[in-house]
Chains A and B, each alone.
Chain A
Amino acid sequence: MDVFLSQVFTGLSAGGVLLLIAIGLTLTFGQMGVINMAHGEFLMAGAYTAYVMNTIIGNAEASLLLALPVGFFVGGLLGVALEAGVLRWMYRRPLDTLLVTYGVGLVLQQVARDIFGAPAKEVPGPSWLDGSVPILGYDFPLSRLFLLALSLAALAGVAAVLKLTALGRQVRATVQNRDLAETLGISTRRTDRITFFLGSGLAGIAGVALTLLGSTGPTIGSSYIVEAFLVVVVGGIGQIKGTVIAAFVIGVGQSFLEYATSGSTAKVIVLALIVVFLQVRPQGIFAVRTRSLA
């Protein structure tokens, strides 16, 4: 029972991290048909933001809380720059956006290497996240609990924006039918830009959060991006609830498989299962019915 619970909790927090990364991806993929491979590098930027904030402030207790909003803006601004500088020329060419953003990601990685050096940097976590809380007889690390809470908070935030605000209505309209939304007077250009800001900002937050789990290096983003895209594909592109289910199922499943086998074998099995799953549901758990992506 102990092992079972610990694997569930570990899996939930891993799923939370995946969710945090994948929400932004599914927003931009679903709405704009942009496969943003540089999303991982926005995450990296968030992680380095946490490192810089920590160096400037020198107080691990406060710097994490300050780094979260700053990381959001750093990621978001990078996203807006990418959208305005490159991506707006290539909407409806998803395969090409994949290559272009991969190129941007390469450049950003090298920028990070030139500024911070290739060796990974450690960001000390705040002391209030040391230790663990007993849940059902299992000691659950506070930092992982914080990650889970953070991803759920981000999810609630995105859901609230999408469901309750005028912007959210415009985003949903644009996802469902861009041309019709345009006809109804929605500036899809403006909606795109704000969505990209939100999605990339979430990557920044995810990056800050990841510094709690390990060290920060130039390739931190590329180690998560493939998995994050799988979450998006399995969940159904542009589907927040599908992304949530997929993130947690993949996170928990991987955690159990890792316990049963080894880290790399578990990843291979997860991928094989995803290929099988796509045989059953090629469009993911939930599908946008109104428009098909290439």
Chain B
Amino acid sequence: MSTTHTPAGHTPAGTTETAAATAALGTTGPRTWRTAPPDVSGGWRPSGALVGYVVLALALLLVAPAVLEPFRLGLLAKYCCWAIAAVGIGLAWGRGGMLVLGQGIYFGLGAYAMAMHMLLADAGPEGIPDFMNLYAGGVMPTWWEPFRSPVVTLVAIVVVPAAVAGLLGLAIFKRRVKGAYFAILSQALTAAFALLLIGQVKTTGGFNGLNNFQSFFGYSLYDPANQQMLYFLAAGTLLAAVALTSWLNSTRFGELLVATRDAEERVRFLGHDPANIKTVAYVVAAVLAAIGGALFVPIVGIISPEQVGVTASIAMVAGVALGGRASLLGPAVGALVIGYAETYLSESFPGSWSYFQGALFVFVVLLLPGGIAQLLTRRSKKEVPA
């Protein structure tokens, strides 16, 4: 595509690498629509982003606990878990241009690690989870053993997904597998992961997954006060995740990531290795997804292959697309809105959720590639990279 000779001002998407690179690196280029100033703020002026962030924080930490009944607050806590993963997708996809369709893997790694620990904690010092008595003849695999320790579990929730994402990311990006190939590959890996979970009934609970938890680090899950504590934990983590990506975006790494998205070859010529830049973003996204997954387990009370498979992984992308993938708050807000819409629509009109979700993908991607954030900032949709 880069060999195509197209007159300036008449450029189809994908052929303006150099122009966008010039822009992203801060020098001037011909005035085509891809040469807007570096979009490091993702369409949000710093002040606008700050105001939005404060509004989100107030809404999550003060308004929601005050007005929502406990059941609804629990649902909001669940949406927060998805939103934490969505913030990571925003970084990898919106900033880095990597369409990650496989965040379910990392969500699942975090969730299953947490679930294993909670089951073991409930079972007592020498006990084993009930389902193993049922399916595995009372034998626990040795690699479950370390998850008795809360510290090991918390470390594993971060380290295991980071290691998997780091290895996969380097393997894939060093060989310059990108774009559509990467998307398909990440989707295939998710399918494999879900199959693996279903297949290993004796260690993962198979199709039913892990459930029936009693306590979270010693706190009973049935106590309303603890449920509220979990909500604040999830909401606080979400706000911290947004703050983290905001900081990352403002660093040199954030600029390099956007530059890699818009003009990978140019970044390479300048002496950076795009594979490393992409891998870092991919690892951060993976860890955020894993943390979301780890919080999901005590809040929802179950983790099963259904919640981490291909469909769930793509559903996580829906919220990001709706909110605006390249904006700071878009992915988080989009994921919260989608979570609410899913609950509302499937409660009120069973079956209509699929139509809505399908239509959402079509209309947002086709007509509003910048998501809701694009409406708020009144930018031309063409300024959002494909």
Q: Report which A residues bind B (CB closer than 8 A).
A: 29, 35, 86, 89-90, 92-96, 98-100, 102-107, 109-110, 113-114, 179, 222, 226-227, 229-230, 233, 262-265, 267-268, 271-272, 274-275, 278-279, 282, 291-294
Given the interface contacts A89-B366, A268-B192, A275-B171, does A282 sit within 8 Å of B13 by beta carbon?
no
B47-55, B128-136, B182-190, B251-259 - the one binding chain A: B182-190
Inter-chain CA distance A100–B187, complex, in Å, is 16
Given the interface contacts A222-B310, A282-B177, A282-B181, does A99 sit within 8 Å of B357 by beta carbon?
no
Minimum CB–CB distance from A231 to chain B (whole Å) comes to: 11
Q: Residue B376 at the A interface, CB < 8 A? A: no
Q: Report which B residues bind A (CB closer than 8 A).
A: 1-2, 4, 12-14, 99, 101, 168, 171-172, 175-181, 183-185, 187-189, 191-192, 195-196, 198-200, 310-311, 314, 317, 321, 351, 354-355, 357-362, 365-366, 369, 386
Query: Does B99 contact A95, Cβ atoms closer than 8 Å?
Result: yes
A267 cross-chain contacts in B, Cβ below 8 A: 191-192, 195
B196 cross-chain contacts in A, Cβ below 8 A: 264-265, 268
A113 cross-chain contacts in B, Cβ below 8 A: 351, 354
Query: Does A94 contact B179, Cβ atoms closer than 8 Å?
Result: yes
B101 cross-chain contacts in A, Cβ below 8 A: 98
Query: Does B365 contact A99, Cβ atoms closer than 8 Å?
Result: yes
Inter-chain CA distance A107–B386, complex, in Å, is 24
Minimum CB–CB distance from A291 to chain B (whole Å) comes to: 6
Inter-chain CA distance A265–B321, complex, in Å, is 33
Inter-chain CA distance A107–B361, complex, in Å, is 10
Minimum CB–CB distance from B148 to chain A (whole Å) comes to: 27
Inter-chain CA distance A89–B368, complex, in Å, is 13
Minimum CB–CB distance from B319 to chain A (whole Å) comes to: 12
Given the interface contacts A99-B321, A104-B362, A233-B184, does A279 sit within 8 Å of B195 by beta carbon?
no
Query: Does A110 contact B355, Cβ atoms closer than 8 Å?
Result: yes
Query: Does A291 contact B1, Cβ atoms closer than 8 Å?
Result: yes
Kindly report which residue of chain A lies nearest to residue B14, judged by CB atoms: A92
Query: Does A102 contact B361, Cβ atoms closer than 8 Å?
Result: yes
Q: Which of B178, B179, B362 contacts A86 (CB 8 A)?
A: B362
Minimum CB–CB distance from B198 to chain A (whole Å) comes to: 6
Query: Does B188 contact A105, Cβ atoms closer than 8 Å?
Result: no
Inter-chain CA distance A294–B178, complex, in Å, is 7
Query: Does B191 contact A226, Cβ atoms closer than 8 Å?
Result: yes
B310 cross-chain contacts in A, Cβ below 8 A: 222, 226
Minimum CB–CB distance from B2 to chain A (whole Å) comes to: 8
Kindly report which residue of chain B lies nearest to residue A292, judged by CB atoms: B1
Query: Does A293 contact B179, Cβ atoms closer than 8 Å?
Result: yes
Kindly report which residue of chain A lies nearest to residue B367, judged by CB atoms: A89
Query: Does A95 contact B179, Cβ atoms closer than 8 Å?
Result: yes
Kindly report which residue of chain B lies nearest to residue A33, judged by CB atoms: B180
Query: Does A262 contact B199, Cβ atoms closer than 8 Å?
Result: yes
Query: Does B199 contact A103, Cβ atoms closer than 8 Å?
Result: no
Minimum CB–CB distance from A274 to chain B (whole Å) comes to: 7
Query: Does B317 contact A99, Cβ atoms closer than 8 Å?
Result: yes
- Give 7 A-B contacts (CB < 8 Å), ordered by A residue: A35-B183, A90-B366, A99-B361, A102-B314, A107-B355, A264-B199, A264-B200
Query: Does B177 contact A94, Cβ atoms closer than 8 Å?
Result: no
Query: Does B175 contact A278, Cβ atoms closer than 8 Å?
Result: yes
The secondary-structure label for the interface of chain B is helix
Kindly report which residue of chain B lies nearest to residue A108, judged by CB atoms: B358
Given the interface contacts A268-B192, A279-B175, A282-B177, does A103 sit within 8 Å of B185 by beta carbon?
no
B181 cross-chain contacts in A, Cβ below 8 A: 233, 278, 282
Given the interface contacts A96-B365, A98-B183, A103-B361, does A179 sit within 8 Å of B4 by beta carbon?
yes
Q: Which of B13, B178, B360 contacts A103 (CB 8 A)?
A: B360
Inter-chain CA distance A262–B181, complex, in Å, is 27
**Seed contacts A226-B184, A233-B184; 6 additional CB < 8 Å A-B pairs:** A95-B179, A99-B317, A100-B362, A107-B359, A274-B185, A293-B179
B321 cross-chain contacts in A, Cβ below 8 A: 99
Inter-chain CA distance A89–B13, complex, in Å, is 12
Minimum CB–CB distance from B278 to chain A (whole Å) comes to: 14
Query: Does B361 contact A114, Cβ atoms closer than 8 Å?
Result: no
B2 cross-chain contacts in A, Cβ below 8 A: 292
Q: Which of A93, A110, A233, A271 contacts B358 (CB 8 A)?
A: A110
Inter-chain CA distance A54–B355, complex, in Å, is 28
Query: Does A264 contact B362, Cβ atoms closer than 8 Å?
Result: no
Query: Does A103 contact B189, Cβ atoms closer than 8 Å?
Result: no
Identify the 10 closest CB pairs spanning chains A and B, nearest first.
A103-B361, A264-B199, A107-B358, A106-B358, A110-B354, A294-B179, A264-B195, A103-B358, A271-B192, A93-B386
Kindly report which residue of chain B lies nearest to residue A265, judged by CB atoms: B199
Inter-chain CA distance A110–B354, complex, in Å, is 6
Minimum CB–CB distance from A36 to chain B (whole Å) comes to: 11
Inter-chain CA distance A275–B354, complex, in Å, is 32
B12 cross-chain contacts in A, Cβ below 8 A: 92
Kindly report which residue of chain B lies nearest to residue A177, judged by CB atoms: B4
B187 cross-chain contacts in A, Cβ below 8 A: 226, 229
Query: Does A233 contact B362, Cβ atoms closer than 8 Å?
Result: no
Given the interface contacts A90-B366, A222-B310, A267-B192, does A107 sit within 8 Å of B183 by beta carbon?
no
Inter-chain CA distance A107–B363, complex, in Å, is 13
Query: Does A275 contact B369, Cβ atoms closer than 8 Å?
Result: no
A271 cross-chain contacts in B, Cβ below 8 A: 188-189, 191-192
B189 cross-chain contacts in A, Cβ below 8 A: 271, 275
Inter-chain CA distance A268–B382, complex, in Å, is 40
A29 cross-chain contacts in B, Cβ below 8 A: 180
Minimum CB–CB distance from B326 to chain A (whole Å) comes to: 13
B357 cross-chain contacts in A, Cβ below 8 A: 103, 106
Inter-chain CA distance A44–B218, complex, in Å, is 49
Minimum CB–CB distance from B90 to chain A (whole Å) comes to: 15
Inter-chain CA distance A49–B4, complex, in Å, is 43
Kindly report which residue of chain B lies nearest to residue A269, judged by CB atoms: B192
Minimum CB–CB distance from A197 to chain B (whole Å) comes to: 21
Inter-chain CA distance A30–B195, complex, in Å, is 29
Minimum CB–CB distance from B320 to chain A (whole Å) comes to: 10
Minimum CB–CB distance from B165 to chain A (whole Å) comes to: 13
Query: Does B180 contact A103, Cβ atoms closer than 8 Å?
Result: no
A107 cross-chain contacts in B, Cβ below 8 A: 354-355, 358-359
